[in-house]
Amino acid sequence: MKILFIGDIMGRAGREALEVYLPELRRDLMPDVIIVNGENAAHGKGITEKICKQIHDLGADCITSGNHIWDQREIIPYIARDARLLRPANFPPGTPGNGLCRLELQDGRIIVIVNLMARLFMDPLDDPFALLEEIVGEHKVGQNCQALFVDFHGEATSEKYSLAHHFDGRVSAVIGTHTHAPTADAHILPAGTAYMSDAGMTGDYDSVIGVRKDIAIHRFVRKMPGEPLIPASENKTLCGVYIVTDDRTGRAVSIEPVRLGDTLANTRPKA
């Protein structure tokens, strides 16, 4: 199965980068599944119903999120209606929406997409390790699903690596999001799980993790609040990862980073 995952969409620059580069990637790579983390798509703070529909229209099969999922309050009633928009599965029971999406492709293959949030330096949510243990007990790669993909939204690489190694061979991929900086550690773990600490941001990299430089710098230099954190919007770069898995086992065959745009060194996977 060919899986294309796009990292955190940050504001207008991120949405425009997605509009420019996703059609190219769909044409060249012909992925079976497209997953997009959209939690910062609405001016850097959450996501709206309109933006969700725009991302779906561009070809995204599933939209994941993270700690900013509730920043736009209108998403609360909408998330219950869109099964392909996920919030972290380890939010407390009773939280609106779902953290897991089981997609059946046109040819009958199944991929399970899981959105989890880490806890180190993050909000104290339920245990992501224990929850994923329950999920892999029900959804077994190579048996009742062909792939199981995890978007693990968190700060600490140690926590991301630990979850990936703990579930190595039982999930197809663990890809980190949240830090808005693409890492250089895309590889396949010993038992066959594809891993990357952070897929990176889709947005303007001539910035401070997507925020206008002047605003972010002022807060560090003056140590006092200034303007609201406004996303930078001049340059456009798409970041993500392209994974191919073995349908028989659910294990990864290859993983390659994706970087296309104005600021970072570009890298485009081979079809």
pTM of the predicted structure, to 2 decimals:
0.96
What's the rounded Cα separation, in Å, for the pair 173 and 255?
9
Catalytic residue check, 68: yes
23: confidence class by pLDDT, cuts 50, 70, 90: very high
Q: State the CB neighbour count (10 A cutoff) for residue 37.
A: 30
Residue 198 in contact with residue 181, Cβ under 8 Å? yes
Q: Where do the domains of the chain lie?
A: 2-261
CATH of 2-261, one of 3.60.21.10, 3.40.50.10540, 3.40.50.720, 2.30.40.10: 3.60.21.10
Residue 225 has pLDDT above 80, yes or no: no
Burial of 30 (0-12, 13-18, 19+ CB in 10 A): exposed
When the pLDDT of each residue in the chain is averaged and rounded to a whole number, the result is 96
Residue 228 has pLDDT above 90, yes or no: no
- Name the catalytic one among 43, 56, 68, 180: 68
CA distances from 115 to 193, 223, 233 (A): 16, 34, 27
Residues 94-106, mean pLDDT to the nearest whole number: 97
What's the rounded Cα separation, in Å, for the pair 61 and 229?
30
The per-residue pLDDT for 111 is: 98
The end-to-end CA distance of the chain, in Å, is 13
Give 255's DSSP letter. Answer: E
